[in-house]
């Protein structure tokens, strides 16, 4: 998929954890092509979600592309387990600690044949991504402080950075996707679209409504 086409990615974090297989099917039936999985370690962020076993379980139940967002320290130490679990893209935070380095971790993701993503927290400037920009397939600009679903979209803090990442990409002939994550609804997705995003992670706004198909349709229409 090219880096301009808009896509809505349901985030499993907002699903019913008591019925994961059914929830994954609900997302697929609602038209999702990519599913976003939030891995939290209770250290890099103030919450604990799930690990590689969940990614593998989801892989077993769907053909969707799995977009794994690692909000963990030492992602390089755990990396092989997420590769083995069937991730399609693995995104790592530039702010986290590594046994090796951000660069080595991105290179390992690529050499395993996966798509490699880099993530910036709202407070982290685009400048921090520049040393790695030639190594990545995707740049995730967090639109909330990571850790929890259901937070408010931080427009003023993140939209100028998103536009900067888009302009830099165009000026340098690069091809990375621009993803936004946190507080994405039909009201905020068009704002992010206008500033360059093509991948829209939607937790509450996709799994929340009873009619997920309608919700996905409305979200897609808002960025078309
Ligand atoms: C936030 C996670 C998000 C989360 C978004 O830490 O990275 O992926 O699921 O949830 P909503 O869409 O509810 O803001
Ligand atoms: Zn996420």
Query: What is d(CA 183, CA 136) in angstroms, rounded to the nearest whole number?
Result: 24
Per-residue pLDDT of 38-74, as tens digits, reads: 999 999 999 999 999 999 999 999 999 999 999 999 9
Q: Is 29 a catalytic residue?
A: no
Nearest to 48 by CA among 190, 147, 181, 183: 147
Q: Is 137 a catalytic residue?
A: no
Q: What is the mean pLDDT of residues 190-219?
A: 98
Task: Spot the catalytic one: 38, 67, 76, 137.
Answer: 38
Indicate if ligand 1 lies below 6 Å from the C-beta of 204: yes
Per-residue pLDDT of 79-97, as tens digits, reads: 999 999 999 999 999 999 9
Q: Which atom of ligand 1 is nearest to the CA of 142?
A: 7
Predicted local distance difference test score (pLDDT) of residue 157: 97
pLDDT > 90 fraction of the chain, expressed in percent and rounded: 98
The rounded Å distance from CA 180 to ligand 1 centre is: 10
Task: Spot the catalytic one: 99, 181, 211, 218.
Answer: 181
Please tell me the number of the ligand nearest to residue 189's CA.
1
In angstroms, the Cα distances linking 55 to 12, 112, 144, 175 are 10, 17, 23, 27
- What angle is formed at CA 200 by the lines to CA 146 and CA 40, rounded to 5 degrees? 25
User: In which region does residue 184 sit, left (phi positive, over 0), alpha (psi from -120 to 50) or beta (all else)?
Assistant: beta
Please tell me the number of the ligand nearest to residue 122's CA.
1
Q: Categorize the per-residue pLDDT at 216 as very low, low, confident or very high, splitting at 50, 70 and 90.
A: very high
Q: What is the mean pLDDT of residues 162-184?
A: 98
The rounded Å distance from CA 11 to ligand 1 centre is: 7
The rounded Å distance from CA 168 to ligand 1 centre is: 26
DSSP the chain: --SSS-EEEEBGGGS-GGGHHHHHHHHHHTT-SEEEEEEEBSSSSS-B---HHHHHHHHHH--SEEEEEEE-S-HHHHHHHHHHTT-SEEEEETTS--SS-HHHHHHHHHHTT-EEEEEE-TTS-GGGGGGGGGG-SEEEEESS-TT-SSPPP-HHHHHHHHHHHHHHHHHHT---EEEEESS--TTTHHHHHHTT--EEEESHHHHSSS-HHHHHHHHHHHH-
Q: Categorize the per-residue pLDDT at 165 as very low, low, confident or very high, splitting at 50, 70 and 90.
A: very high
Per-residue pLDDT of 113-160, as tens digits, reads: 999 999 999 999 999 999 999 999 999 999 999 999 999 999 999 999
* Residue 1 pLDDT > 90: no
Compute the mean pLDDT over every residue in the chain, rounded to the nearest whole number: 98
Q: Which atom of ligand 1 is nearest to the CA of 11?
A: 9
Residue nearest to atom 7 of ligand 1 (CA): 146
Q: What is the mean pLDDT of residues 174-192?
A: 98
């Amino acid at each position: 998929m090219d880096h301009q086409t808009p896509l809505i990615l349901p985030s499993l974090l907002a699903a019913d954890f008591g019925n994961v297989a059914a929830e994954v099917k609900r997302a697929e039936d609602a038209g999702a092509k990519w599913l976003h999985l939030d891995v939290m370690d209770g250290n890099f962020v103030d919450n604990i979600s799930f690990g590689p076993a969940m990614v593998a379980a989801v892989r077993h139940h769907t053909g969707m592309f799995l977009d794994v967002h690692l909000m963990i320290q030492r992602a390089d130490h755990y990396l092989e387990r997420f590769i083995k679990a069937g991730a399609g893209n693995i995104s790592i935070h530039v702010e986290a600690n590594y046994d090796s380095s951000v660069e080595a971790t991105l290179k390992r993701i690529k050499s395993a044949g996966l798509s490699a993503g880099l993530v910036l927290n709202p407070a982290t400037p685009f400048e921090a991504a520049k040393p790695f920009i030639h190594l990545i397939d995707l740049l995730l600009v967090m639109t909330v402080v990571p850790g929890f679903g259901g937070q408010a979209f931080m427009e003023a803090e993140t939209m100028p950075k998103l536009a900067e990442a888009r302009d830099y990409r165009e000026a340098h002939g690069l091809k990375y996707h621009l993803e936004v994550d946190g507080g994405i609804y039909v009201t905020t997705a068009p704002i992010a679209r206008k500033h360059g995003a093509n991948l829209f992670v939607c937790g509450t706004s996709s799994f929340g409504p009873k009619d997920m198909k309608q919700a996905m349709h409305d979200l897609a229409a808002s960025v078309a």
